[in-house]
Amino acid sequence: MEIAAPQHRPLTVRKAPMFELLKPMPADPLLQIITAHRADPREDKIDLGVGVYRDEAGHTPVMRAVKAAEKILVGEQPSKGYLGIVGDPIFTDLLRPIIFGAERGDAELIPAVQTPGGGGALRLGAELIATARPSAKLWLGTPSWPNHRPIFEAVGVEVREYAFADLHKQELLFDPMMDALSEASAGDVVLLHGCCHNPTGLDLDHAQWEAVADLCARNGLVPFVDLAYQGLGENLEADAAGFRTIFDKVPELLLAYSCDKNFGLYRERTGALYVKAPNNELARNVASNLAVHARVSWSMPPDHGAAVVRKILEDADLTSDWRAELSDMAQRIHAVRSAIASAAEPLAPIARQHGLFSNLAVSTAQVDALRKEYGIYIAPSGRMNVMGLRIEDAPRLADALTSVGVIPKQ
């Protein structure tokens, strides 16, 4: 008997139904700088485009206390079991006195979630805002960290921008900022950089924090403070002072915290979101909403960075070594800033700014000329990471900025 061969009907495959709908996205301008810098054979090239701290030798070091804590962890960590949705509460609790000071930071009123970096904390906070008050607008001073706007837009929060800085004068536009914020409605959110403003290095002074805090309190605005560089400006206490001023005056507030810079943990994605609620019942409500948002975003946070921070903060010797090294880093930032400021009079404001970044007023042609003619790489926006500079190169930077016309001739 003959067995009929199986019938192979040709399969008709539908035309690609999905990805051809995608529009190409522009490449990150910073990645382009990194690539161009790598390909540049000049030995004296200067990379001011990077986003991380660098030491005198141009390295981004693993901090001593971090190395020591990692060694201990490798030896004694009993399990790699999941952490749980909110992460390790001991990690977020150990950070409380550093962030809030000894007298604040009540865990009942301020629920916390460990997040993948400060970026994760911002996203989680944005999700909470979009759920709690979908009509809330986010008020954002510009320029700001380029990720701020898209993070809030990604969850459907409307962003209102106002001018925060005059880059030509290297000054805060404080009165216009207050005018803009006085247009905000009750329940709107005000994003504030806790310290070391990225990209301008321009921080509010004490009186300005007080004024913003009063405005938020009076008009029912909810501050969302992004504290990504605590300890890299003046010191841990001073860098949290503005945040604490505003914390004390308003009933509701969000804080996105990063340990990626002040513990040098960048790739370990270590951060937390703290949310101040007006009473315990609302705090529990906030906590349960945060848990749901975290669950559907990353489910549970990565552990390693937070475990390292916990190890350090549980050990007095490691804590004091971490504080000492962080303070050395802040001093080095000041030293580089002073060197730039002394190299040319128009650069003097740079010494009064804080953190890794300053933002010069530049044209695309000037950025290109700096790169092509002088091997100096800065972001197309004019943001420069001052830590990409060796102190002895400050006069070279000033000369190049003068010759391409970014700063006037003396």
Bridge partner list, 165 = 172
Q: Which of 271, 301, 302, 388 binds ligand PLP (CB under 6 A)?
A: 271
Q: Which of 105, 119, 201, 223 binds ligand PLP (CB under 6 A)?
A: 119
Minimum distance of ligand PLP from residue 357's CB (angstroms) = 8
Alpha helices in 155-303 (DSSP H): 174-181, 206-219, 236-249, 280-297
First to last CA, the chain: 102
Of 145, 239, 276, 393, which is the active-site residue?
Answer: 145
Per-residue contact string for residues 357-396; x = within reach of ligand PLP by CB under 6 A: ----------------------------------------
For the four alpha carbons of 362, 368, 373 and 374, in that order, the dihedral sign comes to positive
228 contacts ligand PLP (rule: CB under 6 A): yes
Record the tokens describing residue 403, joined without a space: 């010759």
Per the annotation, the verdict on 261 as an active-site residue is: yes
145 contacts ligand PLP (rule: CB under 6 A): yes
Question: CA-CA distance, 362 to 347, in Å (whole number)?
Answer: 14
> Which DSSP helix (H) or strand (E) runs through 148?
helix 148-154
Per-residue contact string for residues 89-118; x = within reach of ligand PLP by CB under 6 A: ----------------------------xx
Q: Cβ closer to ligand PLP: 197 or 393?
A: 197
Question: CA-CA distance, 128 to 379, in Å (whole number)?
Answer: 32
Count Cα atoms within 13 angstroms, Cβ side, for 119: 16
Q: Cβ closer to ligand PLP: 126 or 407?
A: 126
226 contacts ligand PLP (rule: CB under 6 A): yes
Q: Cβ closer to ligand PLP: 211 or 265?
A: 265
Per-residue contact string for residues 12-31; x = within reach of ligand PLP by CB under 6 A: --------------------
Q: Which of 92, 198, 230, 366 binds ligand PLP (CB under 6 A)?
A: 198
For the four alpha carbons of 207, 209, 213 and 219, in that order, the dihedral sign comes to positive
**DSSP per-residue letters across 308-335:** HHHHHHT-HHHHHHHHHHHHHHHHHHHH
Q: Cβ closer to ligand PLP: 250 or 265?
A: 265
DSSP 117: H
Per the annotation, the verdict on 145 as an active-site residue is: yes
C-alpha distances out from residue 112 to 138, 255, 262, 353, Å? 21, 9, 19, 30
Of 47, 88, 188, 226, which is the active-site residue?
Answer: 226
> Which DSSP helix (H) or strand (E) runs through 366?
helix 364-374
Residue 160 Cα to chain centre, angstroms? 19
Mapping DSSP to helix (H, G, I), strand (E, B) and coil, where does residue 133 land? Answer: coil
Of 137, 261, 276, 311, which is the active-site residue?
Answer: 261
Q: Cβ closer to ligand PLP: 344 or 379?
A: 379
Residue nearest ligand PLP by beta-carbon distance: 117
Q: Are 111 and 327 in contact (CB under 8 A)?
A: no
Q: Which of 170, 200, 230, 258 binds ligand PLP (CB under 6 A)?
A: 258
51 contacts ligand PLP (rule: CB under 6 A): yes
Q: Cβ closer to ligand PLP: 201 or 271?
A: 271
Q: Cβ closer to ligand PLP: 203 or 226?
A: 226
260 contacts ligand PLP (rule: CB under 6 A): yes
Minimum distance of ligand PLP from residue 117's CB (angstroms) = 3
Please name the residues in contact with 14: beta carbons below 8 A apart, sequence gap of 6 or more.
Answer: none
Minimum distance of ligand PLP from residue 120's CB (angstroms) = 6
Supply the residues annotated as catalytic.
Answer: 145, 226, 261
Instruction: Tell me which residues touch ligand PLP (CB under 6 A).
Output: 51, 117-119, 145, 193, 198, 226, 228, 258, 260, 271
